[in-house]
Amino acid sequence: MGPVSEQGDTPHPSRAVWARALSARAGRWVASASYLKKWSVLGVVIGAVAGVGAIVFYEALVVCTHFFLNVLAGYQVPTPKGEGGLTASSSPTRPWALPLIAGVGALLGAILVVRIAPEAEGHGTDAAISAVHHNPRGVRFRAVIVKIVASALTIGSGGSGGREGPTGQISAGFGSLLARLLDLEPADGRIAVATGIGSGIGAIFGAPLGGAVLATEILYRDDFDPAALLPSFIASVVAFVVFGAAEGFSPLFGYVATYHFTDPVQLLWFALIGVFAGLIGLLYAKGFYGLADLFKRSPLPRWVAPAVGGLLVGAIAIAIPQVIGTGYGWVQQCLTHNALESIPLWIVLIVPFARILATGLSIGSGGSGGIFGPGIVIGAFLGAAVWRVFDPVFPSMGHDPAPYVIVGMMSCFGSISRAPLAVMLMVAEMTGSLSILTPAMIAVGISWLIVRRSDDTMYRSQLKSRSDAPSQRLLAGLPLLGAIPVARAMAEPKLVITTKLSIESVRRALADASLSGAPVVDAAGRLEGTISRSSFQESGDGQHGVAALVDAGAPTVSDSSRLDVALDSLTAAPESWVPVLDDERRVVGTLSISDVVRAYRQELVSSAERMSDLGAMTGTAQVTITPTSPMAGKTLRQAELPAGLLITSISRGDRVFFPTGNTKLEVGDRLTVIGQGFDLTQIGKAESVDASE
């Protein structure tokens, strides 16, 4: 069945059509570019947007904080040295207003989230991690805008939250937009979104190296993604330069006095901080999500719960003002001897627990903000508490609390975020204290070990390792998918919808074709997205156009791809099918799970027939790829092996895996090959071969 359109719909040029044509051209360039060229360009673009997004959110947060706390409450929030180094007011002019202000700010943010973009609820980093793993094309731009405003309102009015979640989601959202506009393959889409997370967070903390490493480490509990490292390096540097050009390049907490390791006995104190940090990190995760679950089970409406949480946080702040906002100014005070001594000991001891409670009330209730920043504050006060309690008794600790405060920040959140290396680097950059890394390794290692034994994390969207990704689990059991072209497996589209149809017309067309959904195209025949029957539930009288119901972030696949790439897209699709597009983004087919299964069965039968045809003259060989091999550095598809050869497995180091057409051969790989004697002899002329017939 061809495209369905109502009488009178005729294609006409428009700016939207031209924009899609331009994006199709850009997508073709990206698809044909080398890894370095592609990510040099995309990394710069993502980094520039991340830097601008960080500036926008930072300024919005400054404005909200000034209005809500300075003007309405009469309270000056302390700021870190990199942001002016202002000291806190002795007390708010109107302390009774703090609960009301925090409650109203959280209420306004919650109303925005519930009405416009429910996915902007909570801490944005976890949502961005989920997008990387499950649908890198699915982050809506409206969620980014809502996240900026709602987080500025929540944190600026006194809520306990960090600014890394909103900034990470801004640039992750742009990476998702690029994945849609350029039809990036799923693997590239994941890198784009992950790069956005790291560059955005690195920019607003002034920590480009830590942000780049964070992009590769934060996705998994016990693994990292090396493919995202180079793009993240490029994007993080660009984002740091853009943000620094507007807000300054000084470290967030200034250049803390350089630490010189001279006394091995001090390692015992750092080890003690590691133990406490691991336990407090676990308490942070369990307390935060425990409160979040409590709010979910409560009968309060979704837009009311954050207001209640804000009201309670404001009440706590009357006695413990250190729970207000980001808290970075209080961390600054902990870094110097005299300023830390001026804070009552009971405050220093209670702040880690009060911050856990306040963050759960502010963000766990459904408010908008990050959980990275509060984790840094919790760790800082933990280190400060250890120094305050033990320094009078054990002078060997030294009279500078800064090393213990810095290591507390590194070990507390580095462990529970399951990103110890990235957090270590970020805190070192934020304090200008690279010399602290050596003793910090003791504390971070111990705290990470404690957290790892519990298998808990602050980011519940993290996977355990790369092998746990949905597509990887499927591909491991279907090794032949890389040899099957999408064009061979796809089906002709049964129905293609145009954007000017009414909802009722689309509903009838889907019913007549017995389909749950269909691709939607513009007047020029280029894909707009997909639509499904489930999207009609909120469509009112059914007479409006379908444009508002189109899922523009739905995964697609190119007709020039192979089924291993297509299966990656199918695992992220809301339906059991994806549109197949040509180089001009025109729909040339659809691909469903059943199409993949059918094509795979046919390939198995064909492979069995080829094995049968080899006859009695077959043999096996172990082929080792040498440095001079013409196959080194090529994929199996590019290697152009004789048709009579089958590679059944590849051994690389201590790992054995099934190859696909996209498997890149490396020097030292050992290939198990089956084929006829003549073909084995031919391949043996260029490789190191141990053959047996």
Both tokens assigned to 640:
């152009």
Element (H, E) at 649: strand 646-652
Give the mean model confidence (pLDDT) for residues 571-590: 85
* Residue 183 neighbours by CB under 8 Å, 6+ apart: 24, 27, 31, 556, 558, 581, 585
Q: What is the mean pLDDT of the chain?
A: 85
Give the mean model confidence (pLDDT) for residues 211-228: 92
User: What is the end-to-end Cα distance of the chain in Å, rounded?
Assistant: 54
Give bridge partners of residue 530 from the DSSP assignment: 519, 551
Both tokens assigned to 47:
């980094």
Instruction: State the amino acid at position 251 in one-letter form.
Output: P
Domain map (residue ranges) of the chain = 3-8+482-598, 33-466, 614-692
CATH for 33-466, among 3.30.70.20, 1.10.3080.10, 3.40.50.300, 3.90.550.10? 1.10.3080.10
Instruction: Specify the higher pLDDT residue, 12 or 118.
Output: 118
Cα 228 to Cα 205: distance, rounded to the nearest angstrom: 20
Element (H, E) at 676: strand 670-676
| Strands, E assignment, 270-366 | none
| Burial (0-12, 13-18, 19+ Cβ within 10 Å), 12 | exposed
Q: What does the pLDDT read at residue 676?
A: 66
CB-CB neighbours of 282 under 10 Å:
18
| pLDDT surpasses 60 at 614 | no
| pLDDT surpasses 60 at 542 | no
Q: What does the pLDDT read at residue 607?
A: 67
SS3 content of the chain, % helix, strand, coil (to 5): 60, 10, 30
Q: What does the pLDDT read at residue 109?
A: 93
What does the pLDDT look like over 23-78, one tens digit per residue? 778 888 888 888 899 999 999 999 999 999 999 999 999 999 999 999 999 999 99
What does the pLDDT look like over 106-137, one tens digit per residue? 999 999 998 888 877 877 788 889 888 888 88
Instruction: Specify the higher pLDDT residue, 622 or 387.
Output: 387
Task: Report how far apart, in Å, the C-alpha atoms of 334 and of each of 161, 258, 409 are.
Answer: 19, 16, 11
Crossing angle for the helix pair 420-431 and 437-454, to the nearest 10 degrees: 140
Give the mean model confidence (pLDDT) for residues 353-361: 96
Cα 370 to Cα 155: distance, rounded to the nearest angstrom: 9
| pLDDT surpasses 60 at 588 | yes
Element (H, E) at 194: helix 186-204
| pLDDT surpasses 90 at 465 | no
| Burial (0-12, 13-18, 19+ Cβ within 10 Å), 678 | exposed
H-type alpha helices, 466-583: 470-477, 486-489, 503-512, 563-572
Contact 477, 558 (CB under 8 A): no
CB-CB neighbours of 7 under 10 Å:
5
Q: What does the pLDDT read at residue 194?
A: 94
**Cβ burial 366-397 (10 Å sphere, 16+ → b, else e):** bbbbbbbbbbbbbbbbbbbbbbbeebeeeeeb
Instruction: Specify the higher pLDDT residue, 66 or 677.
Output: 66
When pLDDT is cut at 50, 70 and 90, the band that residue 613 belongs to is: low
Cα 244 to Cα 250: distance, rounded to the nearest angstrom: 8
CATH class of 614-692: alpha beta
When pLDDT is cut at 50, 70 and 90, the band that residue 691 belongs to is: very low
Both tokens assigned to 379:
């760790």
* Domain 3-8+482-598, CATH homologous superfamily name and number: CBS-domain (3.10.580.10)
Q: Of 170, 133, 182, 210, give the one whose Cα is nearest residue 47.
A: 170
Element (H, E) at 426: helix 420-431
| pLDDT surpasses 50 at 446 | yes
| pLDDT surpasses 50 at 270 | yes
The yes-or-no answer to whether 3-8+482-598 and 33-466 have a common fold is no
Give the predicted TM-score (pTM) of the model: 0.81
Sheet holding 587-592, edge to edge: 557-558, 577-581, 587-592
Instruction: State the amino acid at position 241 in one-letter form.
Output: V
Cα 539 to Cα 588: distance, rounded to the nearest angstrom: 29
Classify strands 496-498 and 517-521 as parallel, antiparallel or unpaired.
parallel
Number of H helices, E strands in the chain: 25, 12
